[in-house]
Structure 1
Amino acid sequence: MAQITIEPATSERFGDAQHALTGGGDGTACQCQWWTITNAEFQRTTTAERQEMLRAEIVSGPPPALIAYVDDQPAGWVRVGPRTAQVRLSRTKNYSANSEEPWDDDAVWAVSCFVVRREHRGEGLNARLLEAAVDYARAGGARVVEAYPVDPAAGRKKSPNELYHGTVSTFVAAGFREVARPRPDLAIVALDLTV
């Protein structure tokens, strides 16, 4: 059985972060910057510039994400941190119009992005990453963790790239409650860490 460990994305693990992000999907080009900058900024930057933005974010800390390792090899990634640091979330109407939480509250954290390398899909890494992200948010002082997963059972079939939000079933299994359903295939979920 494979050994799975999950660690913060710190500066000494930047190479591991790159390996986790480049195993399939849009992680290579995005560099997990989609939610941290406006659409105009994202369109203006190159992949190399976004990579340097991620490096600067990791170096300045605190770690903005966690890395999953399978048998000591980087295999997956989850972005988790204060929602206020992920500016595009508040600019996304499906989220801004339906969240129950004030957008200026630093105690509301968001789990906004998963990446799992192709060779490790189907091993339950998203659930493990989510569990670790909740623990990390709790340790960081979060009051609520919010997320924006998709429901593959609703609407058309989703490609693996469209599942970077995570799936509703994974969040519900982790104890999140559905707050809103802006579209049939898109939910807002939240977990209250004060109870």
Structure 2
Amino acid sequence: MPLDVRPATAYDDVRALVGPKSPAANVCWCLSYRLPSKLNKELRGPARGEYVAGLCREEPPPGVLAYENGEPVGWAAVAPRANTSFARNRKIPHVDDVPVWSLWCIRVRPGHRKKGVSHALIAGAVEFARERGAPAVEAYPLDNLGARVDLTMAYPGLRRNFERAGFVHAADTTSVLAGHPRVLMRLDLR
């Protein structure tokens, strides 16, 4: 399957992957780790989508999108860790003072799973960060040890997929999601 991964500048495509069916819904929009908690709680309904539309016009855009035959089929959120709540997260440690980028959400549209989209998104997110000067990329995937993971809670990705992409285990965390520990995986780009 030929996949094209590009910066997430097309708001309608981002909305198709992480936006709600109803514009008034208060879904994540992949903003939970991007915004300070207070602002995240204040943005309600359509204001969340408007905020994301603004992010799509900024440099860097909020992540990358995977396309198959021009159709958006996957999303990955990636940004400098300093610009996310991971900068202050007590459960996800800082390994050192390197200004890493964080890759924290991978979403693949139903009907396109098990086709390599998440692998393409990880590679695309790494390239996106590299092109913008990132010295390293971190991810905080589930260490599910092969156990089944509820797809709703699999958004941080799975450890084995990051290992396939060349990431290495850099630290354990005290974060647990859907009953699975999260680990800090890192890929040095220098």
- Report how many residues are paired: 181
- AA aligned to 2:66 is A
Aligned pairs (5 A) from 1:107-186: 107-153=99-145, 157-183=148-174, 185-186=181-182
Question: Residues 121, 152 of structure 1: CA spacing in aligned structure 2 closer, same or farther, 3 A cutoff?
Answer: same
CA contact (8 A) 1:30 1:47 kept: no
CA deviations over 1:8-45 (Å, ceiling 9, x no partner): 111xx111111122499xxx811111111123322232
Deviations 1:111-165, CA, capped at 9 Å, x for gaps: 11111111111111111100111111111101011110012227x7531111111
Whether the 8 Å contact between 1:99 and 1:179 is mirrored in structure 2 is no
Provide the C-alpha distance between the structure 1 equivalents of 2:140 and 2:160, rounded to a whole number of angstroms.
12
Which residue of structure 2 aligns with residue 57 of structure 1?
A: 55
Quote the Cα distance in structure 1 between the aligned partners of 2:129 and 2:189: 9
Q: Distance in 1 between matches of 2:72 and 2:135?
A: 29
SS of residue matched to 2:111: helix
Distance in 2 (alpha carbons) for counterparts of 1:158 and 1:188:
18
Q: CA deviation at 1:191?
A: 0.8
TM-score of the two chains, using structure 2 as the length reference: 0.87
| Contact residue 116 and residue 125 of structure 1 kept, 8 A | yes
SS at match of 2:27: helix
2:77 corresponding residue in structure 1: 79
Structure 1 residue ranges, 4+ long, deviating more than 6 angstroms after superposition:
none
Q: Considering fraction of residues, name the structure with more helix.
A: 1
Unaligned runs of 5+ in 2: 175-179
Letter in 2 for 1:100: V
CA distance in 1, matches of 2:163, 2:45: 34
Tell me if structure 1 keeps the 8 A contact 2:20–2:27.
no
Question: What is the distance in 1 between the residues matched to 2:58 and 2:75?
Answer: 19
TM-score for both structures, normalised by structure 1: 0.85
2:64 equivalent to 1:93 = no
Q: Is 1:20 matched up with 2:11?
A: no
* Letter of the structure 2 residue corresponding to residue 169 of structure 1: R
* Aligned residue identity for 2:37: N
